[in-house]
Copies of this chain bind each other. A is one copy, B any other.
Amino acid sequence: MLGALLAATALGSRSAFAQTDPLASWNDGGAKQSITNFVARVTAQGGPDFVPPAERIATFDNDGTLWCEQPMYVQFAFILDRVKTLAPQNPAWKTEQPFKAVLDGDMKALAASGEKGLVELMAVTHAGMTVDEFAKIVTDWLTTARDPKFKKPYTELVYQPMLEVLAYLRANGFKTFIVSGGGIEFMRPWSEKIYGIPPEQVVGSSIKTRFEMRDGRPVLFRLPQVNFIDDKVGKPVGINEHVGRRPIAAFGNSDGDLEMLQWATMSGSGARLGVIVHHTDAEREYAYDRQSDVGKLDKALDAAAVNKWTVVDMKKDWKRVFAFA
């Protein structure tokens, strides 16, 4: 009993870490060291960079930072599958764009439908049901959907080294948040189980909802109207709205994370950690940066050099990418 209590305390955890490496999937090197050095500094009681636990906020982008975002965002794969599932009830889609493009697998026609097309696809796949119904649709889809490269459930395509960072930070008194351009309600059904991040610590893009009574029970109904885009300049706004504190550490992988990393590292005083996951491993995952449509990393890579953010070289810094490889 006492042993269990001790193990549950930060003190117990630190003792355990003296024996086993909390970042076991990381190769020794500058990237790993910058993370462990930062944590040592902000947790050193009486040290010049000590940060009280309540202020140890770390924010993580999701797509490309915590899980794989290639060859397309997982949420986009969900949209395509969902359109196919709903097609029998919507015979007109056989001839109407952008639905026809999805059903024909015609990615060129789909791209041509542009933002207007995407908004229409979002409306029919993400709105028109209650929040509980949508959570169930997402959960059910994830159990059957497989990615095209590894043929695995998407929730297995999470980066093992990043899971270790999440656990390591939490063991050191941090609160970990997801701050993603992806849909907040698309992540919440599984973020706790997969990342150990509870729904109240997930920040993302959202559509509007409406409270109403149905058969004497209150529901929140999802509307086809954008509420908030949690990307680029939206990320600091979303962080402020949901967290109300400035993070002292932020992890991203693309230009969509630039402002979040600026917000976390360039304001306030004291130790700060900015980390960019650079996808350099075409063999074990994908290699892409400045020219990529998905997860373009250009401005933020330049900013990393200027601001002394840590750039993780996936190929060099990670012993393994996924739990299964």
Which residues in A have some Cβ–Cβ distance to B below 8 Å?
2, 5-6, 8-9, 11, 54, 57, 131, 175, 184-185, 188, 192, 198-202, 206, 208-211, 213, 216-220, 227, 233-234, 236-237, 240-245, 259, 262-263, 266-267
Contacts and interface: CB of A to CB of B under 8 A. Distances in A.
Contacts of A131: 240
A54 B286 CA distance: 36
B184 A218 contact: no
A218 B267 contact: yes
Number of copies: 2
Contacts of A202: 244
Nearest to A57: B200
A236 to B, nearest CB: 5
A296 to B, nearest CB: 19
Given A200-B242, A243-B200, A267 B217 contact: yes
A243 B199 contact: yes
A103 to B, nearest CB: 32
A226 B246 CA distance: 22
A256 to B, nearest CB: 13
A128 to B, nearest CB: 17
Contacts of A213: 262
A241 B9 contact: no
Given A54-B192, A198-B245, A209-B241, 7 more contacts: A184-B241, A199-B244, A200-B201, A206-B241, A208-B237, A217-B266, A218-B236
Contacts of A175: 200
10 contacts: A54-B198, A199-B245, A200-B201, A200-B242, A209-B237, A211-B237, A211-B259, A217-B266, A218-B267, A220-B263
